[in-house]
Structure 1
Amino acid sequence: MIYSKTAKTIETDRLLLRLFTESDAPEVTTLCNNYNLYKNTLYLPYPYSIEDALSWIKNHLDNFNSDKHYEFAITDKVSGKLYGAIALSNHPKFNNGELAYWVGEEYWGNGYATEASKAMLEFAFIEKHYHKVFARFFHTNPASGRVMEKIGMKKEGILRDHVMKENEYLDLVYYGILGHETT
């Protein structure tokens, strides 16, 4: 992982994590206006409009500069193709943050979420000096849990019937990792 503080980017073997710009809004809209993505995410609206994308992107730079949230586009390092998004919240009072991500359905199964998540853990622990990073997923989305396991996170618990999505109660599965547990 190579972090550029001035460019606000993180580089991995295949990916460039960078801040979103307004020009990403059409592609974000295309990727997010997908029922299969919606049903696996906590806050994504559906249908997803260009206004949703613009509203979401609008505060990313301010959030980054104020150390509130770090929200990056997951892009191909060579072509610049947008694959998804990854974010890390900052809870300075507790010295921890939540990792969250989504990848467009057409790019599922390529390891992009895992590669980006590993880089975000390094960013959290090396650059931001977090003590802990946690993440959560719906029990109906075990692929997200596999990403968390691949990056060394451990299952910490299940909040049963914690969220209602489409008139169905869903369990939220929590994973976490401490800074000294990373390799």
Structure 2
Amino acid sequence: MYRNIRIETERLIIKSFTKEDLHHLHRIVNDVEMMKYVPFAKERTLPECKKLLDRILKRYTESTSNEFKGFLLLVYLNYSNECIGFVGLFPLTYDTINTEIFYGLFEEYYGKGYATEIGKAIIQFTFDQMNLDKIVATVNKDNEVSKRVLSKIGMNFDYIIDKEVTEGSSYDGELMYSISKYI
């Protein structure tokens, strides 16, 4: 259902991975700065990334509006077609009723408003094209830049995630933000 996502903004193209995107995925998961706060993958070698890419592509077809399993998308500059990062939407690991947005940019694209543009576009897509009424985001308490981005895209701080509530997940002390369609 989500195999051919393509979202265009003023400066960006946000779209589904394809089989040809192995080099982009490999670059992303091996970028230490990007993975600092978004360690979604442990895969680092090309063969490991090939398996991860296969799982990403499979998830596009497994997700439905009734059973959303999540997806990752690549982000490109629309004028040069240069890959600048990624954005993902996945059910929250410890509370699958909620869908979490997360993103990462290569460091050379920091401070240009791209994260805000990505977040606004994904929120609009989620509310307009998917059957979701709420999006959440978790952020490390020390990640001041992402906290500002979440505020700029309309998300509000809800609470500090308690490890006891999230047993079996890697969350502990992160901050929970959310935005609802009907507020």
TM range (shorter): 0.7 to 0.9
In the TM superposition, residue 133 of structure 1 has moved relative to its aligned partner by 0.3
Q: How does 1:9-88 map to 2 (within 5 A)?
A: 9-45=6-42, 48-67=44-63, 68-88=69-89
Answer yes or no: is the 8 Å Cα contact 2:155–2:179 preserved in 1: yes
Deviation sequence 1:82-132 (CA, Å, 0-9, x none): 0111011258x84x4111111111211122111111111011111113111
CA RMSD of aligned residues (A): 2.7
Deviation sequence 1:47-66 (CA, Å, 0-9, x none): x3323432332123332233
Question: Cα gap change, 1:87/1:151 in structure 2, threshold over 3 Å: closer, same or farther?
Answer: same
Whole-angstrom CA distance in 1 between matches of 2:82 and 2:9: 15
Whole-angstrom CA distance in 2 between matches of 1:114 and 1:24: 24
Unaligned runs of at least 5 residues, structure 1? 164-168
Question: Cα gap change, 1:104/1:135 in structure 2, threshold over 3 Å: closer, same or farther?
Answer: same
- Paired residue type of 1:55: K
One of 152, 159, 165 as aligned partner of 1:150: 152
Q: Indicate the percent of aligned positions where both proteins have the same amino acid.
A: 27
How many residues are matched?
A: 169
Higher strand fraction (1 or 2): 1
In the TM superposition, residue 161 of structure 1 has moved relative to its aligned partner by 6.8
Unaligned runs of at least 5 residues, structure 2? 64-68
Answer yes or no: is the 8 Å Cα contact 1:72–1:86 preserved in 2: yes
TM-score by length of 1: 0.79
- Paired residue type of 2:52: W
